[in-house]
Amino acid sequence: MYANAHPAFEAPSASLSEIVFGLPGPEIPPAPSLAELLVSRMIRARKVLVTAESCTAGKLAHLISDVPGAAQVLEGGFVVYSKRAKQQLLGVGRDIIADFTAVSEAVAEAMVAGALERSGADLAIAATGVTGSEPDEDGNPLGRLHVMAGLRNGSRSHRHCEFGSFSPDVLTHAALQMALLSALELLDRPKDGKPLFDPDA
């Protein structure tokens, strides 16, 4: 999963990773429903979150903010559409981008780490991908996406998605679904017999 790791990119201490081919199926709830589940889960756990968005350009934070109760859990979001913004706002290393491209697991991890470091949030959700109308300048194909959710204890949930060529709206919605699903799965991941965010802990 972390083969040929860059010296500046170390695998998180506890992580989940999955490769997804094709768009999410009908068994995956639409993004607004997943956002409602996430807000409810975060309220119960009394935790807050931050987003770090490239290809979704703030749509993830906006979607979460539309959910009743979001003010209790959403601290804010970073929109880092360009490589320069990733470097300046989140501290993503220029060498990491050069070695892995901006659409990579390494950059998604650096975005999560940067968002947590620059906020008071407990959970960060990052999305970087190609959801426009053509491949990016580094040759990443349309529909390629890396999303990652991360906690301060080093736990991560990552998805590398290859959706294929679809319209920007379709790809963006799929990206939102995968980002939210990764966050929900991370929160419900058992540790010592209990979810990581156990409101009764």
End-to-end CA distance of the chain: 32
Q: Across all residues in the chain, what is the average pLDDT?
A: 90
Q: Is residue 130 part of a domain?
A: yes
3-class state of residue 54 by DSSP: coil
Q: Is residue 200 part of a domain?
A: no
How far apart, in whole angstroms, are the C-alpha atoms of residue 14 and residue 117?
18
In this predicted structure, what is the pLDDT of residue 194? 54
Q: Is the pLDDT of residue 163 over 70?
A: yes
- Identify the domain containing residue 135 by its residue range: 14-191
Take residue 2 and report the two structure tokens written for it.
């972390």
Chain CA centroid to CA 45, Å: 19
Q: Is residue 79 part of a domain?
A: yes
At CA 115, angle to CA 170 and CA 174, rounded to 5? Answer: 10
Longest distance between any two alpha carbons in the chain, whole Å = 48
In this predicted structure, what is the pLDDT of residue 197? 59
Q: Is residue 197 part of a domain?
A: no
How far apart, in whole angstroms, are the C-alpha atoms of residue 119 and residue 201?
23
Q: How do residues 59-79 score in pLDDT, each as one tens digit? A: 999 999 999 999 999 999 999
- Of 144, 147, 181, nearest to 166 (Cα)? 144
Percent of the chain with pLDDT over 90: 83
Q: Is residue 199 part of a domain?
A: no
Q: Is residue 93 part of a domain?
A: yes
Percent of the chain with pLDDT over 70: 87
8 A C-beta contact, residue 50 and residue 25: no
Take residue 87 and report the two structure tokens written for it.
């470097």
Residue 65: which CATH number? Answer: 3.90.950.20
Q: Is residue 113 part of a domain?
A: yes
Q: What pTM did the predictor assign? A: 0.88
Q: Is residue 5 part of a domain?
A: no
In this predicted structure, what is the pLDDT of residue 13? 43
Of 198 and 65, the one with more pLDDT: 65
Q: How many domains does the chain have?
A: 1
In this predicted structure, what is the pLDDT of residue 191? 58
In this predicted structure, what is the pLDDT of residue 110? 98
Q: How do residues 86-135 score in pLDDT, each as one tens digit? A: 999 999 999 999 999 999 999 999 999 999 999 999 999 999 999 999 99
* Average pLDDT of span 162-181: 98
In this structure, what DSSP letter does residue 181 have? H
